[in-house]
Amino acid sequence: MIEDLAEDRQIYRRYLKRRFGDQINWCEAETAAEGLAKIESWAPDCVLLDYSLPDEDGLAVLRRLLGDRVRLPLPVVMLTGMGSESIAVQALKLGAMDYLVKDHITANALKRTVVNAVEKHNLVAELESKRRELEQSHATLEVRNADLRASKLELEREVNERRQVQQTLLESEKHFRKMAEFSASVIHNLGNVLTNMGTSIFQMRSVLEGSQLRNMLLAHGLIRDHFDDFDRFIVEHPKGKLLPKYLLSAGENLQKEHERMGGELDLLNERLLMMRDIIDQQQTRAKDALKSNPLDLGNTVEKVVGLHEELIETHRIQVFTQNFATRPVFANRAKILQILINLVKNAIEAMAHNPADRHRHLILRSADENHDRICLEIRDTGCGIEPEQLTNLFAYGYSTKKEGHGFGLPYCALAMKEMGGDIRAFSEGSGRGTVFTLIFRSGRKLTHDGK
């Protein structure tokens, strides 16, 4: 803990001791300089960093920790009594795992934030390790290619053997390149899910921060203070007269908070299941592609739209779903979810900066294309794509967005191909919107009872 106020440190010690017991050890520092020295000597698993310190602020401490690194060497949670969103944004950009306002810190919130910060930091470290392993494998392959080129003259007399070796190396190189591209797509897809999870966490935190619980405790205090003369209190005292009506109203508000939190927890659970499916894809890809099964396309579309509800509301987008397909599609659940998440997210981003006089419509329309194919169109009224860009749209590493990495659409194309389907893109140009068309294999025709 790097915190200059002794009373705040005492509160955090009590919270940590209450929730972690003997499973946690900590050390404390009152200044930035002392805190940096203890981080160097003690190597903690997590740092609670106050923004306001005597010698320099918490953002300066983050910059010192970051140095020339790409990311912070350990998870940091920023603490401040100011509640400034700009400070939160700067801290997160510098690599802080999370941000807590002192007035809203509880024992549960502190424990949850510390645990999440450590787990998120470890996950990022693990992904970095996997990336380095892939780079090392690629470097090893390059060394092997160099060695083969150096020995080319000696192998000229054995042409047939040399050709066999070269063919083997070409196949190995192709395999490793596909694995590298697939791993990059996995990271990209996990990033999409983590972004949605972050939105749910933000919504849950907003509910907690605006909760009626604090006022309920005040009402509880009034009841306790006037317990012996409660009948007279609620009849004669101005506050007592308002108490029954307030309790009824507060109960309804708490019920709404409970329902909202339950909905966000359901979304978090859904997104965790998606992350598990993504990781399962990576683990099984070396053997076989995941199996395909008949799926209800309409339900899948509704689920993906629900996952993006916050972004849709934020950008004031109108969504229209039209399900005219009479048969299920034959596809893998995890793959089709990731494809639709990528395409819907791209459509929302394409319309995010539409001028005021242009509609923001997202249309998802499914229909039978012929006796064995189902077509799904994802149409937006966003910024559109120039015709010359459509040719390279599904190429690995190519992106029409400045901040894009070119992982999402290549993954979509590869996944559709593996499921025996196809993906197409069409746009009339800048400002004219974009249409992505997914072609799936279909299952048996639905009966009247929906089976």
Residue type, 391: T
> What pLDDT does residue 83 have?
61
Question: What is the arithmetic mean of pLDDT over 258-280?
Answer: 71
The full set of domain ranges for the chain reads: 6-115, 151-288, 293-442
Q: Dihedrals φ, ψ of 2, to 5°?
A: -110, 100
* pLDDT: which is higher, 216 or 445: 216
Report residue 278's pLDDT band, with 50, 70 and 90 as the boundaries: low
What tokens does 192 get?
A: 């999409």
* Candidate CATH numbers 3.90.1150.10, 3.40.190.10, 3.30.565.10, 3.40.50.2020; the one for domain 293-442: 3.30.565.10
One fold for 6-115 and 293-442:
no
Q: How far apart are CA 47 and CA 91, in angstroms?
A: 13
Least confident of 105-109, 225-229, 357-361: 225-229
For CA atoms 327, 331, 334, 338, the dihedral sign is negative
Q: Residue 298: CA atoms inside 13 Å, Cβ hemisphere, count?
A: 13
Res. 288: pLDDT tops 60: no
The partner residues of 99 in beta bridges, in order of sequence, read 78
pLDDT in tens, 64-104: 999 988 889 999 999 887 666 788 889 999 999 998 888 88
Proportion of the chain above pLDDT 90, given as a percent:
36
Report residue 209's pLDDT band, with 50, 70 and 90 as the boundaries: low
> What pLDDT does residue 85 have?
75
3-state secondary structure the chain: CECCCHHHHHHHHHHHHHHHHHHCCCCCECCHHHHHHHHHHHCCCCEEEECCCCCCCHHHHHHHHHCCCCCCCCCEEEEECCCCHHHHHHHHHCCCCEEEEHHHCCHHHHHHHHHHHHHHHHHHHHHHHHHHHHHHHHHHHHHHHHHHHHCCCCCHHHHHHHHHHHHHHHHHHHHHHHHHHHHHHHHHHHHHHHHHHHHHHHHHHHHHHCCCHHHHHHHHHHHHHCCCCHHHHHHHCHHHHHHHHHHHHHHHHHHHHHHHHHHHHHHHHHHHHHHHHHHHHHHHHCCCCCCCEEECHHHHHHHHHHHCHHHHHHCCCEEEEEECCCCCEEECHHHHHHHHHHHHHHHHHHHCCCCCCCCCEEEEEEEEEECCEEEEEEEECCCCCCHHHHCCCCCCCCCCCCCCCCCHHHHHHHHHHHCCCEEEEECCCCCCCEEEEEEEEECCCCCCCCC
The partner residues of 319 in beta bridges, in order of sequence, read 362
pTM exceeds 0.75: no
CA distances to 135, 220, 417 from 281, in Å: 21, 52, 15
pLDDT in tens, 323-357: 999 899 988 888 898 899 999 999 999 999 899 88
* Cβ contacts of 67-76, under 8 Å, gap ≥ 24: 71/95, 71/124, 72/96, 72/121, 74/39, 74/43, 74/44, 74/45, 74/46, 74/47, 74/121, 75/45, 75/46, 75/47, 75/117, 75/118, 75/120, 75/121, 76/46, 76/47, 76/49, 76/117
Res. 218: pLDDT tops 50: yes
| Nearest C-alpha neighbor of 363 from the set 343, 383, 336, 339 | 343
> What pLDDT does residue 4 have?
92
Average pLDDT, the chain: 82
Res. 370: pLDDT tops 90: no
> What pLDDT does residue 57 have?
92
Considering the domain 6-115, what is its CATH architecture? 3-Layer(aba) Sandwich (3.40)
Residue that has been written with the tokens 């981080």 in this structure: 39
* pLDDT: which is higher, 178 or 14: 14
* pLDDT: which is higher, 128 or 181: 128
> What pLDDT does residue 297 have?
92
Report residue 113's pLDDT band, with 50, 70 and 90 as the boundaries: very high
CB 81 within 8 A of CB 61: no
Residue type, 180: A
Report residue 385's pLDDT band, with 50, 70 and 90 as the boundaries: very high
Question: What is the arithmetic mean of pLDDT over 349-372?
Answer: 91
Res. 50: pLDDT tops 50: yes
Report residue 285's pLDDT band, with 50, 70 and 90 as the boundaries: low
CB 134 within 8 A of CB 180: yes
> What pLDDT does residue 37 have?
94
Report residue 448's pLDDT band, with 50, 70 and 90 as the boundaries: very low
Q: Dihedrals φ, ψ of 449, to 5°?
A: -85, 10
Res. 233: pLDDT tops 70: yes
CB 373 within 8 A of CB 440: yes
> What pLDDT does residue 450 have?
44
pLDDT in tens, 155-196: 677 676 556 545 643 554 565 456 555 565 566 666 666 666
Res. 220: pLDDT tops 60: yes
Proportion of the chain above pLDDT 70, given as a percent:
80
Burial-class residue 75 by CB neighbours within 10 Å (0-12, 13-18, 19+): buried
> What pLDDT does residue 149 have?
84
Task: Provide the Cα torsion 296, 301, 302, 304; round to 10°.
Answer: 130
